[in-house]
Chains A and B, each alone.
Chain A
Amino acid sequence: MWRYLINRFLLMIPTLLGVAIIIFLLLRVIPGDVVEAKFMSGEGSGVSNEVLAAERARLGLDKPVWEQFAIWIWGVARFDFGISMWTGGPISEEIALRFALSLQVALMATIVATLLALPLGVIAALKQDTWVDYAVRVFSIAGLAMPSFWLGILMILGFLIFFKWVPPMVYTPFWIDPWQNMVQLVWPALAVGYRYSAVATRMTRSSMLEVLREDYIRTARAKGLWLKLILVRHALKNAMLPVVTVIGLEFAFLLGGLVVTEQVFNLNGLGLLFVQAITRRDYTLTQALVLLVAAAFIFVNFAMDVMYAWLDPRIRFR
């Protein structure tokens, strides 16, 4: 067990390193750099080449690429992500502000998704190929089909037309005014949560269908056990693993993947920060963001593998 865990843990490092190398190179392949983005955006800006060169030197962009990489990765290894090339502020601060917002929306969306997905998925599996099943499936496929950002636009539109009301567009931290904060963030959470719930519902349904065909369920029923007890104790417990995996992975993606929905609700979260960072060619900030999101994803994957190994001895002793 320990050997497996340590192996699996160590495997995360090359993957993360790979992510770091690829995003580092990708960014340098994108035409233009932060200095150009800063000074050349206006037309005919009379900035001389010397000033540009000096600025590049100040940011360390004149060094060979491998040296830049070495400096950066050495910092990352000590959890020092450096300063933003655009604002000059420490990256950890730039990210922390937005991270709180994105994390909260992601958590709320997860709650929405779980509350919808578990009952719907279980009912659909129990009533397979009846109208209930069809209704749930159509509902969840529709969730996959509707762009979250469009759902967000529709929500705002609906409030405007029917209630003459718009959700607050200025972010209030939870610790300052919880009510104001919730009234603002619940809508994006719902818009994203619907799609999220669709993914989880489908997984719950198929996973339950598989488990319900197992011998031990038939045995339990033959014993005359109460159906509800069979469902909760025997079926749901065993069907949950893939569902939890999907929820975990979606959560990791939500942290950085809210890019479009944030625009609709005017949220200043990680997604918006990412778009800004990449259009401003803010290398250090983009790199840090990608690493953060990828690390979340890789870690969730690792945690899932550990859980599987813990629950399933066949994996543990492989």
Chain B
Amino acid sequence: MSTATDIASVDTVTAADRGRRWSAVVADFCRRRPLGAIGAGVVVLMIVVALTAPGIAPYDPLNIDFAAMLAPPDAAHWLGTDAYGRDVLSRIIYGSQTALIVGFGAAFIGATAGAVLGVGSAYFGGRTDLVVQRFMDIFISFPLIILALAMVAILGNTLPNLIIAITVPMIPRCSLVIRSSALSIREMPYVDAARAAGYGHARIILRHMLPNVMAPYLIMLTSFLGQAILLEASLSFLGLGVQEPTAAWGLMLRGAAVEFAETAPWMALFPGLAISLAVFAFNLFGDSLRDALDPKLRTG
């Protein structure tokens, strides 16, 4: 029996095949879902901007220049300056780093924790399921922003804590969705087979069940990305999120942006546009991804 070599050869074939299939999938996605492709394009652009921020930002985002306070958009400051004379464009460029870190961090942790809980809850069933689901019910009844507010108040508002605070309200929402898909997977013969083979619970959950809820997982992940960015902006706007002088979009809308709105509207306009464009792109991409992966899942 040359089982090992057989498996190896099968693996190499699928790997090569997979490479070709992936590019075909991407091309197909762009052709059939132009809106989604646009969204994905903007997301990629944002990531590039965030990564190359020091190279492309015309000024240091923290550089205070009282000579150029509240300067309107012109050749020197394309999007104007704020009440401290800081360049708005540079702050928006650097703000994309904050938004992406919080967005990806919170969405990834929230969706993953939710998925593990959801699959675990479905797998064990019975009393465990009941207890976990009641807990999720309780957390879901808390309004999103209020739960995040309380978490920030407890943990303090550093960036990692902010991510955790935003993650907490997401976990139950994700676990509910994942659990319902995992319920049917639990009845699959391969799960029985894995159990019969004597694998532990953790291995069955992580290796056999989790990969099979990838579609709802990805859908939740992408929809959380936009929500996390919005929630971060709201918290920062309230003064409970990212702190000055860090560049963050929600923070840029706070205080002076509202006070001087009449004389310096660019301060309120452009950061909000950045938030909207980012969330718009993530949602557009997420929507199309959902349509492509699972047309049955409802648009919520």
Contacts and interface: CB of A to CB of B under 8 A. Distances in A.
A203 B300 CA distance: 6
A21 B258 CA distance: 38
A109 interface: no
B146 A263 contact: no
B153 A141 contact: no
A89 interface: no
Contacts of B257: 153
A275 B298 contact: no
Contacts of A19: 138, 141-142
B253 interface: yes
A157 interface: yes
B6 interface: no
Interface string A263-286: 110000000001100110000000
A69 interface: no
Interface in B128-148: 134-135, 137-146
Contacts, number: 139
Contact of A30 (B145, B154, B269, B275): B154
Interface stretch (B15-23, B64-72, B198-206, B229-237): B229-237
A153 B300 CA distance: 27
Interface string A1-37: 0000000000000110011001100110111000000
Contact of A138 (B35, B250, B299): B35
Report, as a range, how many residues of chain A touch the other chain. 35 or more
A145 interface: yes
B265 interface: yes
A256 B149 CA distance: 13
B279 A144 contact: yes
A156 B269 CA distance: 12
Contacts of B287: 137, 141
B221 to A, nearest CB: 16
A26 to B, nearest CB: 5
Report, as a range, how many residues of chain B touch the other chain. 35 or more
A293 B280 contact: no
Contacts of B250: 147
Which of B35, B238, B299: most chain A Cβ within 10 A? B299
Contacts of B140: 297
Nearest to A259: B145
A307 to B, nearest CB: 17
A298 interface: yes
A259 B258 CA distance: 17
Contacts of A246: 300
A146 interface: yes
A233 to B, nearest CB: 23
B272 A242 contact: no
Interface of A: 14-15, 18-19, 22-23, 26-27, 29-31, 134, 137-138, 141-142, 144-147, 149-150, 153-154, 156-157, 160-161, 199, 202-203, 205-207, 242, 246, 253, 256-257, 259-260, 263-264, 274-275, 278-279, 290, 293-294, 297-298
Q: What are the 7 closest A-B residue pairs judged by CB atoms, nearest first?
A: A150-B272, A18-B138, A145-B280, A145-B279, A294-B141, A202-B299, A206-B299
24 contacts: A15-B134, A19-B141, A23-B142, A145-B280, A147-B250, A147-B272, A149-B234, A150-B253, A150-B268, A153-B253, A153-B257, A153-B261, A154-B269, A157-B265, A199-B300, A202-B300, A206-B298, A206-B299, A257-B143, A263-B238, A274-B149, A293-B146, A294-B141, A294-B143
Given A161-B262, A202-B300, A263-B238, 17 more contacts: A22-B138, A30-B154, A134-B35, A137-B35, A137-B287, A142-B276, A146-B275, A146-B279, A147-B276, A153-B261, A202-B299, A207-B298, A259-B234, A259-B238, A260-B237, A290-B142, A290-B146
Interface of B: 35, 134-135, 137-146, 149-150, 153-154, 226, 230, 233-234, 237-238, 250, 253, 257-258, 261-262, 265, 268-269, 272, 275-280, 283-284, 287, 298-300
